[in-house]
Copies of this chain bind each other. A is one copy, B any other.
Amino acid sequence: MIQQGVPADDRGLTLGDGLFETVLARAGALVLFDEHFTRLCEAAAVLGLAAPEKPLVRRQARAALEQAELERRRAAVRITWTAGSGGRGLDRPAEPAPRLMVTAHEALRPDTPARLATASVRRNPSSPTASLKTLSYLDPVIARREAAAAGGDEALMLDLGGAMACAAAANLFWIERGRLFTAPAEGAILPGIMRAQVLAAARRLKTETVIEAAPPERLADADGAFLTNSLIGVRPVASLDGQPLRQSPLTAALAAAVTAVS
Interface residues, chain A, with chain B CB atoms under 8 Å away: 3-17, 20, 47-48, 78, 80, 82, 88-92, 101, 103, 105, 120-122, 124, 126-129, 134-142, 144-145, 148, 160, 168-169
Contact = CB atoms under 8 A, between A and B. Distances in A.
Contacts of A17: 137-138, 141
Given A4-B7, A80-B13, A127 B124 contact: yes
* Residue of A13, A16, A78, A92 ringed by the most chain B CB atoms within 10 A: A16
Contact of A15 (B14, B88, B137, B160): B137
B9 A6 contact: no
Identical copies of this chain, number: 2
A252 to B, nearest CB: 24
Nearest to A64: B8
A135 B134 contact: no
A5 B3 contact: no
B144 A90 contact: yes
Given A7-B3, A8-B5, A169-B90, A16 B142 contact: no
List the 10 shortest-distance A-B pairs measured between CB atoms, nearest first: A136-B136, A16-B16, A136-B138, A124-B124, A15-B137, A5-B7, A122-B126, A3-B7, A16-B136, A90-B144
A128 to B, nearest CB: 6
Given A3-B7, A10-B13, A91-B148, A129 B136 contact: yes
Contacts of A127: 121-122, 124, 138-139, 142
A128 B121 contact: yes
Contact of A128 (B89, B142, B169): B142
Contacts of A120: 126
Given A89-B169, A138-B134, A145-B48, A10 B5 contact: yes
Given A12-B13, A14-B135, A129-B129, 13 more contacts: A5-B7, A8-B80, A8-B101, A8-B103, A11-B141, A13-B82, A16-B16, A17-B141, A90-B144, A120-B126, A122-B124, A124-B126, A124-B160
A48 B254 CA distance: 38
Contacts of A5: 5-8, 10, 13
Q: Which of A13, A101, A120 has the most CB of B within 10 A?
A: A13
